[in-house]
Amino acid sequence: MPVDITLIIVLVIALALFFDFTNGFHDTANAMATPIATGALKPKVAVGLAAILNLVGAFLSTEVAKTISGGIIKEGDEGVLITPELIFAGLIGAIVWNMVTWLLGLPSSSSHALFGGLIGAALVGFGIGAIDFGVLMSKVILPAVLAPLTAGLIAFVATKLAYGVTRRYDGKPDGRSGFRYGQVFSSSLVALAHGTNDAQKTMGVITLALISVGLLAPDSGPPFWVVVVCAVAIALGTYMGGWRIIKTLGTGLTDVKPAQGFAAETSTAATILASSHLGFALSTTQVASGSVIGSGIGRRGSTVRWKTAGRIAIGWLFTLPAAGAVGALAALVAHLGPWGVILDAVVGIGTIVFIFLWSRRDTVGHHNVVSEVAASGEAVVIAPEIEPKKVAK
């Protein structure tokens, strides 16, 4: 096999695994932000649990997609020929955007970032005809609007219900802290579902790259080593914990209480399961964010920080074009040949290291994701919540 093909395949696998890793730490928040925020689980325990469930999940479901972009890019005989260079450029776009959104603490969809990167790369290589805009609309853009609305509505109803059922008018203990136990289960379900869905995407990318250079027969499943490394990469990423995003989702949008957290996580789990089994794909990240906002609207006396919500929405808006722009740029350079690919890799790694170093200026980790405000809180008297009294008629 020629040296340059070996080089690019090695690079694609390395990048795909790193993408898997960023996917893991980007999405820890979806499952574990609210249990961490309500104190149902200690931060380290929560990410550890999520990591194990992602690892298990990755092994449970290894039926990979036959197309890399789910039909957004016209692949196959009449459309675009998926080359390792295209996958390579797409992955660079996706990873860079994942790192940027992580730095900003924004929950954003890793799969949309991957789609964006691939679309950008395909546009450069094959022009606008390579993209199926109908599929793009129905599989990415419209679900991005519907996912948070759906999950938000469901979480709103669930939160109202949870508070309504447990409400007491006599001021006696209502047992709502018991929702903390429930949170452990509902968020575990989300983590497991994530492992089965998302590790699979990377397995698909690597498998398709191997098929494209003839190392694997067409239509073959992922080799076992691919399954193992993908599972480990996503679990490691999850364990690293995207603390910045956990902070945004757990405490940035609204102050989450146990009943709310349980309602939000259950809504996330139910919506994801329904969407993946009834055939209307919704992004986990967008569902989880919508759930948290919905539960914030649903609890009396809680406020939703719409400014943060707005920042997240802007992040979603930019995911596709931004990852696409980076992917397109990387594809342009990669067309220069092996040296272009090497240049891409060097610049890509440089960008990632730069973002990482930049993030060191103000680290957010398990030690301070639960903020300093709480630590000093013992000195602060906080007025107890006043429960509504039933008005005598």
Partner 1 sequence: MIDWMGFIVVLVAALTGTVLVVGFYALGLKMLVRAGRVPVVIPAAFTDAITVLTPAEIKSAAKKAAKAARKNPLTPMQKRVALIAAYCCFTVCGLAILFGIYLIVPALHGG
Q: Which is nearer to partner 1, 98 or 197 (CB)?
A: 197
Q: Which is nearer to partner 1, 18 or 194 (CB)?
A: 194
For the chain, give the longest Cα–Cα distance.
86
Q: Which is nearer to partner 1, 123 or 292 (CB)?
A: 292
Q: Which is nearer to partner 1, 103 or 137 (CB)?
A: 137
Q: Which residues contact 165 (CB under 8 A, 6 or more apart)?
A: none
Minimum distance of partner 1 from residue 308's CB (angstroms): 13
The C-alpha angle with vertex 209 and arms to 207 and 214, in degrees rounded to 5, equals: 95
Report how far residue 118's alpha carbon sits from residue 330's, in angstroms, rounded to the nearest whole number: 10
- Three-state secondary structure call for residue 80: strand
Q: Which is nearer to partner 1, 52 or 146 (CB)?
A: 146
Minimum distance of partner 1 from residue 103's CB (angstroms): 21
Amino acid letter, residue 248: T
- Three-state secondary structure call for residue 230: helix
Q: Which is nearer to partner 1, 98 or 308 (CB)?
A: 308
Minimum distance of partner 1 from residue 256's CB (angstroms): 5
Minimum distance of partner 1 from residue 81's CB (angstroms): 26
What tokens appear for 35 in the block? 């249990």
Q: Which is nearer to partner 1, 15 or 282 (CB)?
A: 282
Residue with structure tokens 């789990």?
269
Minimum distance of partner 1 from residue 323's CB (angstroms): 23
Q: Which is nearer to partner 1, 157 or 211 (CB)?
A: 157
User: What are the C-alpha distances in Å from 78 to residues 75, 84, 133, 134, 138?
Assistant: 7, 18, 16, 17, 22
Beta strands in the chain (DSSP E): none
Minimum distance of partner 1 from residue 162's CB (angstroms): 5
Residue with structure tokens 């092996």?
338
Compute how many other C-beta atoms are within 10 angstroms of the C-beta atom of residue 330. Answer: 30
Q: Which is nearer to partner 1, 95 or 259 (CB)?
A: 259
Confirm if 85 and 122 have CB atoms less than 8 A apart: no
Minimum distance of partner 1 from residue 186's CB (angstroms): 8
Minimum distance of partner 1 from residue 109's CB (angstroms): 17
Minimum distance of partner 1 from residue 357's CB (angstroms): 28
Ramachandran angles phi, psi of 193, nearest 5°: -60, -40
Q: Which residues contact 139 (CB under 8 A, 6 or more apart)?
A: 70, 71, 72, 281
CA atoms within 13 A on the CB side of 80: 29
Cβ-defined contacts of 208-211 (< 8 Å, 24+): 208/68, 208/82, 208/87, 209/9, 209/12, 209/13, 209/16, 209/84, 209/87, 210/9
Confirm if 234 and 202 have CB atoms less than 8 A apart: yes
